[in-house]
Structure 1
């Protein structure tokens, strides 16, 4: 009489690292709900979660579009486009994000406002519009612009690697069948490149969630900035930064698990 092998239980199939993280999450949630001090700090910092997510989502969406355009330029047959795109990528990737953030906020933003006023100076002279002020350029938008430019260079390399991973023979075959460049990219290149692109693209999104903490250097009221203000006024540095770490870990680990799930879904579809 043969015995069928017992299927492992759900608990046995779960990875130990995920169980440990789940335990930390439960402990953090218990501390916030049961301890008045942690609860007050959590309520103070929760307002920064929306700012963090708003800055991250908007900047990442814009960086993805810009990065795709730069990647297409880098893989273009026109040398001038390739050289310009490569110059952009190498320059942006060589500057630390914090330095670039400060540069955009305090150097590029005033220059952009001055350039705008110069272009529309006839309208200003005629009294049709009022001159723009650098104070009207909100620091949140300066931070979003800086993160967009910084991450677009890294995302461009991700797209370029995915595009170049597709065999040249498939592209040449599609072109010989009469497909335009756009249809070839849409139906042949991009669907295959997506499997290569998705994991590092998801990792970049998680990294941007963490790097968005740098916008606190501009006074943007995100989680980190509210944490600094709360800790400096209450001197509860241990409790405050525990909550800050808890909020960031909750967001980043949730996003990492979502990316893993999307990878598994795509692998199942391809294997069918």
Structure 2
């Protein structure tokens, strides 16, 4: 077994750079995904058939196709069709936003639908219109239900960023591949990249469990 102990330390600067890109892409992408998901999730609840159909197509297409295919489509396919080049980092954020938005849309739809419909009647009895009922009665209750799935989606999207190495985004996986190709220390490189992902996902999972327990008690 050819193990290079120094490689476990030498790769750290590469992975620190990759960690920065991974977090930026995840945070910005999921934040935009929350906006998209909220819009399309509420559209799926619309009584207007056309609006509901548009939202359903968005959700089903994005959830029904592999993320890797979406990455290539948005980074290579669309720019090639329209005749321009797209920065890899921009492509990465856009893909994570659009992909996570489709899943968040279902979280929003499920969260709103899980609120007792009697709450709507209660809002009307108080003289609130549909928008006010959603804002002051339905949405606060639904948001409480949606927080744990939001957290799960954040962790999923963070791990999904590893696929962005396919378009040379300098995130964690790409940095590990770069280091491995230079030094041929593949075991050390990929062991450390797994460790870096665990350094993010384990605390995030623990925080999510803590939040879930707090929500159950409240």
Where on the TM-score scale, by shorter chain, does this alignment land: which range?
A: over 0.9
Runs of 4+ aligned structure 1 residues displaced above 4 Å come to: none
Q: CA offset at residue 192 of structure 1? A: 1.3
Note the residue ranges of structure 1 that are not aligned, 5 or more in a row.
1-34, 115-133
- Hey, what's the Cα distance between the residues in 2 that align with 1:254 and 1:46? 17
CA RMSD for the aligned pairs? 1.4
Q: Tell me the distance in 2 between the aligned counterparts of 1:142 and 1:109.
A: 10
Question: Could you tell me which residue of structure 2 aligns to residue 140 of structure 1?
Answer: 89
Partner Cα distance (1:91, 1:37) in 2:
42
The number of residues matched between the two structures is 214
SS of 1:221's equivalent in the other structure is coil
Deviations 1:221-268 (A, max 9, x none): 011001001001101011111100000011111111111122222233
Bigger Rg over Cα? 1
Which whole-Å deviations, capped at 9, do the CAs of 1:85-111 have from their partners, x for residues lacking one? 112111111110000110000112344
- Give CA-to-partner distance per residue, 1:134-169, whole Å, 9 cap, x none: 33x311111111111111111101110110001111
Of the three residues 17, 20, 43, the one matched with 2:13 is: 43
Cα drift, residue 177 of structure 1:
2.1
1:109–1:142 CA contact under 8 A, matched in 2 = no
| Structure 2 counterparts to residues 245-256 of structure 1, below 5 A | 245-256=194-205
- 1:11 matched residue in structure 2: none
Return the alpha-carbon distance in structure 2 between the equivalents of residues 175 and 61 of structure 1: 32
Unaligned runs of 5+ in 2: none
Q: Distance in 2 between matches of 1:103 and 1:229?
A: 24
2:52 aligned residue (74, 82, 87) = 82
